[in-house]
């Protein structure tokens, strides 16, 4: 079904693995399409309640495979992004299920953007992040100009984007780019445990939190943000998981959420 990624489901967690290890999981047009398709399929599969995104081999993703775009004709980079990368990033952000990036190695260029588009990032202590675009005279794309300042602030985002320095996993943690740093040999286990925990939580509520926080970032006023919270809470209040949570509270037991 897929040629550039691996797709598996385990304990209600979809595991999506970028699978071009000999090329450091650099993107090709086929990989962009397959990632986008995988996330669209995940959106309609009720069995899946969380996603784990990682890379095969020693890299998360080195960004675009420049060999695939090398040619005599100049590239229209705007059309290139609109066709290949923007749909992929939107498929991740629009998914109302939690997405965890297990960053196992270098995340460079669009590979870094892919990691930033996820809801959580757990990094190996051997991982690194680099907004490499400046080194070929381009700007950060695939959402990096959106996600970076929201995660680390405008001043630090400008520094990372303009200087293009590689930063370690520990430095990324200090800046707030990643949620956790774990030993390289324990990354798969720890990241899956984290994703499985999310898969056992109220999936609809997590999706609404994701949507409401994204919306709040664009709210012009507090009143607007409060109104959307009320709208989302009304939806959450009608879910079976909310009813189960309240029932479990009064029965003094652990709730058994179904994601409905």
Q: Are strands 99-103 and 120-124 parallel, antiparallel or unpaired?
A: parallel
Query: What domains are defined for the chain?
Result: 5-199 (3.90.226.10), 203-250 (1.10.12)
The pLDDT value given to residue 69: 66
pLDDT digits (tens, 9 = 90+) for 164-194: 999 999 999 999 999 999 999 999 999 999 9
- What is the DSSP code string of 92-121? HHT-SS-EEEEE-SEEETHHHHHHHHSSEE
What percent of the chain lies above the pLDDT cut of 90?
92
Q: Would you state the pLDDT for residue 73?
A: 74
Lowest model confidence (mean pLDDT) among 74-78, 213-217, 252-256: 74-78
Write down the number of H helices and E strands in the chain. Answer: 11, 10
Is 113 a residue whose pLDDT tops 90? yes
DSSP three-state, residue 133: helix
For the segment 123-135, the average pLDDT, to the nearest whole number, is 97
């Amino acid at each position: 079904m897929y040629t550039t990624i691996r797709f598996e489901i385990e304990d209600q967690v979809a595991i999506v693995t970028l699978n071009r290890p000999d090329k450091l999981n650099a993107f090709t047009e086929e990989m962009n399409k397959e990632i986008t398709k995988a996330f669209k399929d995940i959106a309609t599969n009720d069995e899946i309640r969380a996603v784990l995104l990682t890379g095969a081999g020693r890299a998360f993703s080195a960004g675009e495979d420049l060999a695939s775009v090398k040619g005599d004709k100049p590239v229209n980079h705007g059309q290139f992004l609109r066709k290949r990368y923007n749909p992929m990033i939107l498929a991740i952000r629009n998914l109302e299920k939690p997405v965890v990036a297990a960053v196992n190695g270098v995340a460079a260029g669009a590979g870094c953007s892919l990691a930033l588009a996820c809801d959580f990032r757990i990094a190996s202590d051997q991982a690194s992040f680099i907004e490499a675009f400046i080194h070929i005279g381009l700007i950060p794309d695939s959402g990096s100009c959106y996600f970076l300042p929201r995660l680390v602030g405008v001043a630090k985002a400008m520094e990372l984007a303009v200087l293009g320095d590689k930063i370690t996993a520990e430095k990324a943690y200090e800046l707030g780019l990643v949620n956790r740093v774990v030993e390289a040999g324990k990354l798969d286990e720890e990241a899956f445990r984290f994703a499985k925990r999310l898969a056992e939580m109220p999936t609809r509520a997590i999706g609404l939190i994701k949507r409401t926080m994204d919306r709040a970032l664009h709210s012009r006023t507090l009143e607007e943000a409060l109104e959307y919270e009320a709208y989302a809470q009304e939806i959450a209040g009608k879910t079976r998981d909310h009813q189960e949570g309240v029932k479990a509270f009064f029965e003094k037991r652990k709730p058994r959420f179904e994601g409905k």
